[in-house]
Amino acid sequence: MKTKSNNINKGAAIFSVIFGSLFFLIALRFLYIQITGTVDGHELPVMAEEKYTQSTILEADRGSILDRNGIAIAQDTPAYTVVAILDERHSKDSKVIRHVTDVKETAEQLAPLINMTEESLLSLLERGVERDSYQVELGPGGRGISYQLMQKIQALELPGIIFEKEKKRYYPNGNFATHVIGFAKKNDQDVVVGKQGLERTLEDYLKEEDGMRVYKRDRNGITLPTKDDVVPPKNGYNVYLTIDQKIQTFLDDSMNRVMKEYEPENIIGIVADPKTGAVLAMSSRPSYDPNDIPANAYMLNDAIASRFEPGSTMKMFTLAAAIEEGVFDPNEKYKSGSFTVGPSTIRDHFRGGWGTISYLEGFQRSSNVAMANLVMNKMNGDDRLLNYLTSFGFSEPTGIDLPGEVSGQILYNYPIEKVTTSFGQGTTVTPIQQIQAATAIANGGKMMQPYIIDKIVESTTNKVIEDREPIEVGTPISEQTANQVLDILETVVSSENGTGKPYRIEGYQIAGKTGTAQIPDPNAENTKSKYLTGHGNNVFSFLGMAPKEDPKLLVYIAVSKPKLTIHESGSQPVSAIFNSVVKNSLQYLKIQPTLDEKAEKSKSDDQKVGLELPSYQHKDVKSVVDDLTNKQLQAVVIGDGANILSQAPYATSEVIPGEKILLKTDGAYTMPDLTGWSLRDVMKLSSLFNLKVNLLGSGYVINQNIPVNAEIKEGDQLIIELTPPNAQQKPSSTQSEEETDEPQD
């Protein structure tokens, strides 16, 4: 028994030693941890801090872009991503079903709302189920949806459909000054950054910086009443533009209508305040909606980044130079029609000219020959016009606060280039350069730099960070010259001789200049002309100011290659935009009409100088021919009868001296020689005999399928070949040897 007791005591002693050692080691470990505060290299205070400290991101907003009245053009807005929960474990211990139970019904109801086909959405959901996915996002149509669409989807009460909240860049007006504003979108780091337009160039002002809130909570997740550490979010600055949302909408809407009706290749529109240079509206077509950008979106802002030959709008600056030099006498006469420069011949758009007319009438009719005389004879062909064009800013970019601006190129080395530049051919400019130059005419000689950023404001305090003031960039002409040019530009619209008659707006005096520019032919090496030919293959434009007595609006509209019928002119799509924008904008700006309808009619009657055509029906041919000759009109008698049955143009039509008046008699009808006839005159013949006209080319007739003196029958098909005046000359390898002509105005 004693031996057994000794064994028990030995065992107890061994266990005591073991447990004592373990206790000692544990005590040493606790003492070590207490002294060092670390466990396996990890600091316990830090681990505790991490366990009981939580943080949340305080989201900042990207700065907004607003119009001059504070209406948002680009801003951040809540957005949602649609997610389908497929795992049935999400519904565990829940009183309601929280996962998708019927993929077919879900696809059927949801697909139309997220721009997916039912089949593709069903396939997406079924693949997720097959792969045992916990959840799936529902394609591009389910990302970044609006709050309104989210509510519609919620109303379906589809089990398992949830939403993840985010932000997106939103453009409330859709296709609105798109090439000015540009767009911003998420990059690879899921951060929204500017990609085009002002969104890109103002990135440093618009970008935001998220903040953070750090707080403590206990082991049960209850927030402790301690002071939070907060790094406040920094919102981006708000940018106010000079754009006026109303005027921009007038411009965009009218351009959309013309795009639909005439299907042109391009349209450019700019509306500015000539007293300050502030751009009130700027747009171009084709365009796109920055909320839904197509892969082939046209990104170039043509208003500042497209250079082309301007056509006759350039004549207002040639006129200003001649007046400033004291060489323009509006009453002095010259011979219109053609002008010779070395081996080259310049012609008016009305090929035969208007005879000997005054320089004032020549400008109203947009005579190329008048400009050629001014630059070569009155200014001696020296560099004076070049110096004025440089002073008007055509040799360099305007410096407008928009990305991508280019400059045109003035061609002024040879005599032929000096002449063609005077009426807008050869030399290239940009639309914004023309706007800047025209501010000098509308603003008493003071030329204002165009600008589009009004101010930049701190979004939370409304403190103005940057404030833009108008900048005068030169005085190319005197106030007296500017006022005289403005007076003459008004007659281009109000005079019966003027090419600007389509731009009349009831109650307001409009001043401006039309332009019809030729477009270089990309295949010129394989054609007779270096320019495109054919009805409508031009850039048609108008640069106008309103109201003339104190211009508040300066507007440039250009329409390239509209699809015109043979009865339509290029002024129709341009005036459809210009007149709509100007009239609506003047009314919006509360600028009252200065002329009533009666006064305008009286003024118009005073200017008609007896060129309203009377009715000649049932009168004898001889007396009618005599009357037309006395009116300086050209009678074309068709038929061998003694009395007039009908006429073209019809009675009460407004006609100009030298115009053809077609008279249909009561005898047999034979085809006249149409060589040299304009398209307009051919259409008069068509209206008299209901001819079906087919056109080849543009300009003036050189061939006809119905022989001269052949019988004309109602409904005959008349095929005519036309060519620009310069195409009948032998082509040459150098520009100085070519005959140059602007096709029409």
What pLDDT score was predicted for residue 731?
A: 34
pLDDT, tens digit (0-9, with 9 covering 90-100), for 553-565: 999 999 999 999 8
What pLDDT score was predicted for residue 48?
A: 52
CA 544 to chain centre: 17
Write out the E strands in 10-93.
Answer: 38-39, 42-43, 53-58, 65-66, 72-85
Contact between residue 488 and residue 330 where contact means Cβ atoms under 8 Å apart: yes
Prior bond of 672 cis (ω within 30°): no
What pLDDT score was predicted for residue 314?
A: 97
Q: What backbone phi and psi angles, to 5 degrees, belong to 513?
A: -140, 135
| Rounded Cα distance, 395 and 563, in Å | 33
Q: Which of 621, 696, 728, 631 is nearest to 664 (CA)?
A: 621
- 């903040």: which residue's tokens? 211
What pLDDT score was predicted for residue 528?
A: 56
> Dihedral of the CA atoms 313, 318, 323, 328 (nearest 10)?
-100
- 């009116």: which residue's tokens? 631
| Rounded Cα distance, 209 and 233, in Å | 6
| Catalytically active residues, by annotation | 312
HSE, side-chain direction, 13 A CA sphere, residue 510? 30
What pLDDT score was predicted for residue 213?
A: 72
Q: What pTM, to 2 d.p., does this model score?
A: 0.73
What pLDDT score was predicted for residue 738?
A: 35
Residue 452 is encoded by which pair of tokens? 């589009």
What pLDDT score was predicted for residue 46?
A: 52
Residue 700 is encoded by which pair of tokens? 């003036």
Q: How far is CA 15 from CA 21, 549, 553, in A?
A: 10, 115, 104
Contact between residue 207 and residue 116 where contact means Cβ atoms under 8 Å apart: no
What pLDDT score was predicted for residue 148?
A: 83
Question: Parallel, antiparallel, or unpaired: how do β-strands 344-347 and 338-341 relate?
Answer: antiparallel
Q: Which of 723, 721, 718, 716 is nearest to 693 (CA)?
A: 718
Sign of CA dihedral 342, 344, 346, 347: positive
pLDDT along the chain (745 residues), means of 10: 61 72 70 61 54 67 93 89 88 85 90 89 89 86 84 90 87 91 86 91 90 64 60 89 95 94 96 97 94 90 95 97 95 94 90 91 96 96 95 96 94 95 95 98 97 94 93 96 96 93 93 93 68 88 95 97 88 94 93 63 45 84 88 88 86 76 88 86 83 70 89 85 55 34 48
| Rounded Cα distance, 601 and 330, in Å | 25
Residue 518 is encoded by which pair of tokens? 């030729």
Which residues make Cβ contacts (< 8 Å) with residue 88, sequence separation at least 6? 99
